[in-house]
Amino acid sequence: MDEALKTELAKQGIFTTTLQELYNWGRRSSLWPLNFGLACCAIEMIATTMARYDLARFGAEVFRPSPRQADLMIVAGTITKKMAPQVVRLYNQMPEPKYVISMGACAISGGPFKQGYNVLKGIDRYIPVDIYIPGCPPRPEALIDAFMALQKKIDAQQLTGDNRPRHLNAAEPSEFPVPHFGAHDLEPPQNPEVWHPPLVNISVSTADIDESGIA
């Protein structure tokens, strides 16, 4: 339907909509996050839900203590390799449709612990992430911005066609393999179905390093 006509009809007291709009409106307006935090980012997440920042304005005030009742996983904090399987398992236990916000430098990439031996280098190695928020930790405004970005993303989703979201496509998985504790590292160290190393240009000027091996 033509947007201008729709607005005109609304002015006359006639409300028109589509099933897709209603469906997306319902989903984006009641995103219930899973009630868990991993590190200092969780403190900012808690602050976001409190009166000063008031996440309830976005329909996300009900933090559920059970993954069965949650729509949104806010990965707030450092994911140690010892904790990673539990985070993936919690994600698997959430019913579709489900979304993930990767909050803060650690959840995105490992952050300041990236080159340590015991911190997972980003939760996106095992589960698909919808929104990334940089920051150490991100302020509540950043989390609210991520919420609004996620709501925009949900609003734009098509219910049919090739671009339909994962939960409407039976061929797409809703659960992802939980990594196992290995003798030296998590096994596998990442899920190749979910994560591909981003292509970055890591070449440096030859003055910085000896001639062997680098362009």
Q: Is 209 in the site for other proteins (CB under 8 A)?
A: yes
Q: Taking CB under 8 A as the rule, which mask of x and - marks residues 116-155 in contact with other proteins?
A: xxx--x----------------------------------
Nearer to other proteins, 161 or 213 (CB): 213
| 156 to 23, 76, 79, 131: CA distances (angstroms) | 11, 26, 31, 15
* Secondary structure letter of residue 115 according to DSSP: T
Which residue in the block uniquely carries the two structure tokens 């990442």?
Answer: 190
Q: Is 5 in the site for other proteins (CB under 8 A)?
A: no
Judged by CB under 8 A, does residue 179 bind other proteins?
Answer: no
Closer Cβ to other proteins, 65 or 192, answer by number: 192
By CB under 8 A, residue 191 contacts other proteins: no
**Does the footprint of other proteins cover residue 184 (CB under 8 A)?**
yes
Q: How far is the CB of 133 from other proteins (least distance, A)?
A: 17
Residues 14-73 that bind other proteins (CB under 8 A): none
Please identify which residue in 57, 68, 82, 152 interacts with other proteins, judged by CB under 8 A: 82
> By C-alpha distance, which of 57, 157, 49, 67 is closest to 103?
49
Dist. CA 200–CA 75, nearest whole Å: 24
The secondary structure element, H or E, covering residue 99 is: strand 99-103
204 binds other proteins, rule: CB under 8 A: yes
Q: If binding is defined by CB under 8 A, does position 172 make contact with other proteins?
A: no
* Cα–Cα nearest to 76, from 38, 50, 22: 38
Indicate whether 183 belongs to the interface with other proteins (CB under 8 A). yes
Please, are residues 95 and 123 in contact by the beta-carbon 8 Å criterion?
no
Q: What are phi and psi of 177, to 5 degrees?
A: -60, 135
For residue 95, give both structure tokens.
């019913």
Positions that interact with other proteins (CB under 8 A):
81-82, 109, 114-118, 121, 181-185, 189-190, 197-198, 200-204, 209, 213-215
